[in-house]
Chains A and B, each alone.
Chain A
Amino acid sequence: GAHAKMASPKTVPKDAQVMMQILKDMGITEYEPRVINQMLEFTYRYITTIIEDAKIYSTHAKKSTVDADDIRLAIQCRVDQSFISPPPRDFLLDIARQKNQTPLPLIKPYTGPRLPPDRYCLTAPNYRLKSLQKKVSSSAGRITVPRLSVGAVSSRPSTPTLGTPSVQTVGTKVGTPVSLTGQRFTVQIPSSQAASVKSATPTTPTVQNVLINPSLIGSKNILITTNMVSQNSSGDSTSLKRKHEDEDDYDAL
């Protein structure tokens, strides 16, 4: 990190001088020079927000000018919104007392990995495959692409880094590959997976990037990569996560 290089006082605008003085009063002596700019930006943004709010309140109260009460009200409302502080101590003591009254639950023996019910885990796949291709005629060289649809799996906390793949279903008319050339398939791969293709950790069940045979793709088409869970998935995909000495009735927990 850079040491603080103080610009000579003559070239520093007054606002910045005030900010430097505030930092010094609060005991902060080492900081990067950009901190002053960031603090000034924050100050400017905060003050304009407050004054704008105060203007709204004063017109609401049908006053001709903005006065101190409006500003006070604006500050109070903003404090509750943007600067949320942790709950007060009485409240915490109260809920602690409630929580601590229940005895510790007994631990069931031999239940495999001890995890909360599936609803509260992040182990479910966040999409599922619908049924596979329609009836296939024997003409060679045709791609049949499994239709992917995104089903909303039961409510579960979604990880922020994972986007839901969206797919345009392909019309698999029985016909020539030519019909494919007019279509563009886009599958949005969640960015974390795209980035971490080389590393081994997507955050949801293991998927494989499958390359459709490129020989069938015309000049205009883009490469299709779909995320498919391997064939014997659907019900068993959750078992990927478990050690194989698992019990079958895990989901009944």
Chain B
Amino acid sequence: MAAVQDGPMELDTEKETKPEILSDGTSKLSGNAASGTLSSSPLTAGGAPKQEDQQTLIAVLQFLRRNKLSESVEILRREAGLEDQEDSQTLDGSGGGKGDRDGGEANSLLSRVSITSAAAPQSTLTPITVKRANEQLDVSVVLSAYSQQGDPSLYQVYYSGLKNFIESVLDCHRAELSQLFYPLFVHMYLELVYNNHENEAKAFFEKFGGDQECYYQDDLRVLCGLTKKEHLKGNEVLLDFRTSRFVLRISRDSYQLLKRHLQERHNNQIWNIIQEHLYIDIFDGMPRSKSQIDSMSGSFAGEARREVNKVKVFHGLLKEPEIEVPLDDEEDEAENEEGKPKKKKTKKDSMGSKSKKQDPNAPQQNRIPLPELKDSDKLDKIMYMKESTKRIRLGPENLPSICFYSFLNAYQGLTAVDFTDDSSLLAGGFADSTVRIWSVTPKKLRKVKSAGELNLIDKESDDVLERIMDEKTASESKILCGHSGPVYSVSFSPDRNYLLSSSEDGTVRLWSLQTFTCLVGYKGHNYPVWDTHFSPFGYYFVSGGHDRVARLWATDHYQPLRIFAGHLADVTCTRFHPNSNYVATGSTDRTIRLWDVLNGNCVRIFTGHKGPVHSLAFSPNGKFLASGSTDGRVLLWDIGHGLMIGELKGHTDTIYALKFSRDGEILASGSMDNTVRLWDSTKAFDDVETDDFTAATGHIHLPDNSQELLLGTYHSKSTPVTHLHFTRRNLLLAAGGYSSQ
């Protein structure tokens, strides 16, 4: 039984023509026997239910095989090719057999209960699908049930045996093999708990809990509170930990060493555990050093497998459309901007030809449908270009000025802030479920007149757009009421017509900024929605919440268009890529995933944070991603290569705000420690360009140059920084709620 065991999920991936290996995060099917069975059995074309039966059948086969019931396996396999009725009978038969297992019954009962309660809100699912998910869950739960691996009291012996071995190994291998400690520890502990050996579990924990790495201590604290099997049942995160496989990257030499050691001993319990619950991604090359390993580890499921990050990502920007600029302004002549027609015709042609060359890294213009530019959008773009000519060039010698907006008297209720792109409006979301909008400029906020008054105005006049606005109720700020829980995120649309807000009540609301009323409530998450973000072109928006998925919506569809599922814990932060083709999500499971909007696939997984990720920022050129988390570090990622290229240490508390300057030269980060820090991102990315990536392993040695990259630290008066925004001229705006302690 050399084949590594898998749950039934990856059989799906085998069937699909595209290699969607990332959509479920479990390992690839490496055992060939099961897939051989799959291909040999006649799969009818139209039978979706038949395929599901086949899957559960394969799962049962694996189960029988694992328990060494080889005759049953043969019989089942023989009959599986023939008729389905018998299969379902044998399925029930073995289902009954499964039910006898310790805890299996209660598990399946509970999982059925949890499925049906969860299935209710999803009205789009047919009953067949629900039942299929039911069966699959039963099977996977049972398959991954912790079976007894020998005598529980000897677990400590096994573990210390392994520990001694690893400590005796050569230095270069020791760091890599030490990665084994944590996942093995957790799985062995959970196994003891699951099989009701409470005392042994506690003793095991006490003896070896303290040895683990410091960044796992929070997880261990949660673990030590779980001493009974019943505690495990409600805990989704641990269930996921159990069913998904912890990924370790070990060099081939170290792996051989380990394998040889474990297989030569007679009680190879640890080897069994490794095979069942861990996925070892072997690479050829130099073993990694401790610091390299430390920088990449920390997430719930270990690191990301290498092939996960090999999908091609189109990180380039979309071409700007050509816009005619009216030539009556004198000041426009000086600059030579893309798209602006020059007075001499020949120059315009040369501009046109330059922009025709396609960036190989950029997606096609029509890869995803995008809204066309309206006249008002074109006017906006012209304003944008005019403003950008007055933009200050930032750099290490030329730091931006920072303007800090402190929210007074918010009583720590300020939970979200957003600025419009032209910095004219500011929205704040509060814990009392209101959203307030302020005008940053002296111009007051006006809403459209009522129908009666609109009838009276002169519709033919030139300034009709001004006349429809109601002067009588103009005010500095407006309050939007509608949510029934704290508002955790606000996001303006790029055309300044709409505002999105997401809240603990599970809805995302779209507000009109013309009338300051609520237009739509998007219901889909039934749990708090932690973050929402409009696409840079409008129309699409993404939201992420406690139900561990991010959803892509369009403003004119009441149901989501895409569901990005794969995280092991809540999705806390969601951002669009500047070309609107990809969405980045940061999560409490300490990973960042990049999703393709076109087909919902996960194209990148970035691990390395040691705490929940709370802020994300794409660089303006689309190539890099910066992320901040509760561990106070900002990590920089190269999207194209899928690697970590920088680590910025300095903050001492959670980083909730990250923004790149308009040309990407400076990265600003704001945190709960009441500071805003500016980092030299040009330098951070430049250093990387010249390095040798060693693409096979993808392991870079990160220089510890946070101090060189830090350009400035600016303290506020006891106000944590909630949001950062660079104006079009590169002035930095910051916002936070003043907290008096």
- Name the distance in Å between A59's Cβ and chain B's nearest Cβ: 23
B111 within 8 A of A: yes
B230 within 8 A of A: yes
A75-B230, A92-B563 are known contacts. Are A116 and B558 too (CB-CB below 8 A)?
Answer: yes
Q: Which residues of A are found within 8 Å of B372, using beta-carbon distances?
A: 107, 109-110
A 81-121 contacts with B by CB, 8 A: 83-100, 102, 104-107, 109-110, 113-117, 120-121
The listed residue (A116, A123, A237) touching B557 by CB distance below 8 A is: A116
Please name the residue on chain B nearest to A72 by beta carbon: B230
Q: Which residues of B are found within 8 Å of A236, using beta-carbon distances?
A: 451
The listed residue (B452, B478, B561) touching A201 by CB distance below 8 A is: B478
Q: Let me know if B554 and A114 touch, CB within 8 A.
A: yes
A4 within 8 A of B: no
Q: Which residues of B are found within 8 Å of A202, using beta-carbon distances?
A: 517
The listed residue (A79, A90, A230, A231) touching B137 by CB distance below 8 A is: A90
Q: Let me know if A105 and B370 touch, CB within 8 A.
A: no
- Name the distance in Å between B221's Cβ and chain A's nearest Cβ: 5
Q: Let me know if A91 and B518 touch, CB within 8 A.
A: no
1/0 per residue, CB under 8 A from A, across B447-479: the answer is 110111011000100001000100001010011
Q: Let me know if A104 and B557 touch, CB within 8 A.
A: no
A27-B221, A91-B137, A244-B454 are known contacts. Are A86 and B565 too (CB-CB below 8 A)?
Answer: no
A86-B546, A98-B129 are known contacts. Are A91 and B118 too (CB-CB below 8 A)?
Answer: yes
A241 within 8 A of B: yes
Q: Which residues of B are found within 8 Å of A94, using beta-carbon distances?
A: 129, 132-133, 136
Please name the residue on chain B nearest to A86 by beta carbon: B547
Please name the residue on chain B nearest to A160 by beta carbon: B484
The listed residue (A72, A85, A121) touching B520 by CB distance below 8 A is: A121
Q: Let me know if B369 and A106 touch, CB within 8 A.
A: yes
**Cα-based distance from A98 to B371 in the complex (angstroms):** 25
The listed residue (B235, B239, B450) touching A206 by CB distance below 8 A is: B450
Q: Let me know if A107 and B370 touch, CB within 8 A.
A: yes
**Cα-based distance from A121 to B511 in the complex (angstroms):** 11
B598 within 8 A of A: yes
Q: Let me know if B520 and A114 touch, CB within 8 A.
A: no
Q: Which residues of B are found within 8 Å of A159, using beta-carbon distances?
A: 482, 518, 521
Q: Let me know if B218 and A27 touch, CB within 8 A.
A: yes
Q: Which residues of A are found within 8 Å of B518, using beta-carbon distances?
A: 122, 159, 203
1/0 per residue, CB under 8 A from A, across B229-254: the answer is 01001111001100110000000000
**Cα-based distance from A244 to B481 in the complex (angstroms):** 25
The listed residue (A86, A106, A107, A240) touching B515 by CB distance below 8 A is: A240
Q: Let me know if A122 and B479 touch, CB within 8 A.
A: no
A 54-96 contacts with B by CB, 8 A: 72, 75-76, 79-80, 83-96
Please name the residue on chain A nearest to B451 by beta carbon: A240
**Cα-based distance from A89 to B301 in the complex (angstroms):** 14
B605 within 8 A of A: no
A98-B129, A114-B556, A203-B517 are known contacts. Are A92 and B548 too (CB-CB below 8 A)?
Answer: yes
B 597-635 contacts with A by CB, 8 A: 597-601
A13 within 8 A of B: no
Q: Let me know if A240 and B448 touch, CB within 8 A.
A: yes
A96-B600, A99-B560 are known contacts. Are A230 and B527 too (CB-CB below 8 A)?
Answer: no
1/0 per residue, CB under 8 A from A, across B486-525: the answer is 0000000000010000000000001010111111110100
Q: Let me know if B599 and A100 touch, CB within 8 A.
A: yes
Q: Which residues of A are found within 8 Å of B113, using beta-carbon distances?
A: 80
Q: Which residues of A are found within 8 Å of B160, using beta-carbon distances?
A: none
Q: Let me know if A99 and B517 touch, CB within 8 A.
A: no
A1-B412, A92-B549 are known contacts. Are A76 and B110 too (CB-CB below 8 A)?
Answer: yes
Centre residue among A104, A105, A161 by max chain B CB count within 10 A: A104
B12 within 8 A of A: yes
The listed residue (A85, A199, A231) touching B234 by CB distance below 8 A is: A85
Q: Which residues of B are found within 8 Å of A97, using beta-carbon distances?
A: 12, 23
Q: Let me know if B451 and A230 touch, CB within 8 A.
A: yes
B 199-241 contacts with A by CB, 8 A: 218, 221-222, 224-225, 230, 233-236, 239-240
A157 within 8 A of B: yes
- Name the distance in Å between B414's Cβ and chain A's nearest Cβ: 14
Q: Which residues of B are found within 8 Å of A88, using beta-carbon distances?
A: 111, 114-115, 118, 137, 236, 239
A196 within 8 A of B: yes
The listed residue (B118, B480, B519, B558) touching A87 by CB distance below 8 A is: B118
Q: Let me know if B517 and A241 touch, CB within 8 A.
A: yes
B24 within 8 A of A: yes
A239 within 8 A of B: yes
Q: Let me know if A239 and B557 touch, CB within 8 A.
A: no
A215 within 8 A of B: no
Q: Let me know if B23 and A96 touch, CB within 8 A.
A: yes
- Name the distance in Å between B20's Cβ and chain A's nearest Cβ: 8
Q: Which residues of B are found within 8 Å of A95, using beta-carbon distances?
A: 122, 124-125, 563, 565
The listed residue (B110, B244, B521, B547) touching A122 by CB distance below 8 A is: B521
B741 within 8 A of A: yes
- Name the distance in Å between A194's Cβ and chain B's nearest Cβ: 12
Q: Which residues of A are found within 8 Å of B115, using beta-carbon distances?
A: 87-88, 91
Q: Let me know if B9 and A204 touch, CB within 8 A.
A: no
B 80-124 contacts with A by CB, 8 A: 110-111, 113-115, 117-119, 122, 124
Q: Count A-side interface residues using an 8 Å CB cutoff.
A: 70
- Name the distance in Å between B341's Cβ and chain A's nearest Cβ: 24
B268 within 8 A of A: no
A95-B563, A114-B554 are known contacts. Are A244 and B468 too (CB-CB below 8 A)?
Answer: yes
**Cα-based distance from A236 to B636 in the complex (angstroms):** 53
Q: Let me know if A200 and B447 touch, CB within 8 A.
A: yes
Q: Let me know if A92 and B561 touch, CB within 8 A.
A: no
A45 within 8 A of B: no
A25 within 8 A of B: yes
B591 within 8 A of A: no
B283 within 8 A of A: no
Q: Let me know if B600 and A100 touch, CB within 8 A.
A: yes
Q: Which residues of B are found within 8 Å of A98, using beta-carbon distances?
A: 124-125, 129
Q: Let me know if B450 and A122 touch, CB within 8 A.
A: no
**Cα-based distance from A159 to B481 in the complex (angstroms):** 10
B339 within 8 A of A: no
Q: Let me know if B565 and A93 touch, CB within 8 A.
A: yes
- Name the distance in Å between A120's Cβ and chain B's nearest Cβ: 4
Q: Which residues of A are found within 8 Å of B548, using beta-carbon distances?
A: 86, 89, 92
Q: Let me know if B450 and A240 touch, CB within 8 A.
A: yes
A37 within 8 A of B: no
Q: Which residues of B are found within 8 Å of A206, using beta-carbon distances?
A: 450-451, 515
**Cα-based distance from A208 to B453 in the complex (angstroms):** 12
Q: Let me know if B516 and A201 touch, CB within 8 A.
A: yes
**Cα-based distance from A233 to B479 in the complex (angstroms):** 25
Please name the residue on chain A nearest to B538 by beta carbon: A114
Q: Which residues of A are found within 8 Å of B197, using beta-carbon distances?
A: none
Q: Let me know if A116 and B452 touch, CB within 8 A.
A: no
**Cα-based distance from A95 to B114 in the complex (angstroms):** 15
A232 within 8 A of B: yes
Please name the residue on chain B nearest to A99 by beta carbon: B563
**Cα-based distance from A115 to B558 in the complex (angstroms):** 9
**Cα-based distance from A102 to B561 in the complex (angstroms):** 8
A26 within 8 A of B: yes
1/0 per residue, CB under 8 A from B, across A156-197: the answer is 010111000000000000000000000000000000100010
**Cα-based distance from A204 to B115 in the complex (angstroms):** 37
A 111-169 contacts with B by CB, 8 A: 113-117, 120-123, 157, 159-161
- Name the distance in Å between B452's Cβ and chain A's nearest Cβ: 4
A5 within 8 A of B: no
A85-B236, A94-B129, A104-B368 are known contacts. Are A120 and B564 too (CB-CB below 8 A)?
Answer: no
**12 A–B pairs (Cβ distance < 8 Å), ordered by A:** A72-B230, A84-B117, A85-B234, A88-B137, A96-B23, A105-B554, A110-B372, A110-B374, A200-B516, A232-B455, A240-B515, A241-B519
With A1-B741, A94-B129, A232-B452 known, 12 other A-B pairs at CB within 8 A are A26-B221, A26-B222, A76-B110, A80-B117, A91-B137, A92-B549, A105-B369, A107-B554, A113-B512, A115-B510, A199-B475, A232-B451
Query: 3 smallest A-B Cβ distances: which pairs?
Result: A100-B600, A87-B118, A230-B452
